[in-house]
Amino acid sequence: MATEENPYTQHYFVQKGDTLSKIAREFYGDPMLYPKIFEANRDILKDPDRIKPGQKLRIP
C-alpha cells in the first residue's frame, strides 16, 4: 500500500557509502532505529541493506 505523502515528512537523498544505520544515527542519534526508515520506505526498498545513491528516502 502506498504511503500518503506528508509535506512535513523529512526527506534525504542517499549518498555514496550511506547505510540505513548511518542515516538513522544522523537523524535519530541511534543507528538501531534504522527499521523506522526502512518501514517508511518499503515502497522503494526491498532490503534494508540495499540502498542506492540518489534514492530519496522518507525520514519519519
Partner 1 sequence: MLKKSLFITAVAMLALAAGCANQKGPATKAVGDAEAALAAFKDDAARLLPGDLSGVETTLTGLKDSLAKGDYKAVLAAAPELSTRIAALRDATAAKKAEWEAATAAAKEKWTGFAADLPKMVDAIQSRVDILGKARRLPRNVSKEAFDNAKAGLDWMKSQWAEANDAFNKGDAIDAASKAQAVKDKGNEVLKLLGLAPSA
- Looking at the Cβ atoms of 23 and 45, the one nearer to partner 1 is 23
- Residue 14 or 25 with smaller CB distance to partner 1: 25
Q: What is the dihedral of CA 25, 29, 30, 35, to 10 degrees?
A: -60
Least separation in angstroms between CB 47 and partner 1: 21
**Nearest distance from C-beta of residue 35 to partner 1, angstroms:** 10
User: Residue 30 CB: number of other CB atoms within 10 A?
Assistant: 11
Q: Which residues bind partner 1 (CB under 8 A)?
A: 6-10, 25-30, 32-33, 36, 60
Quickly count: other Cβ atoms within 10 Å of residue 46's Cβ: 8
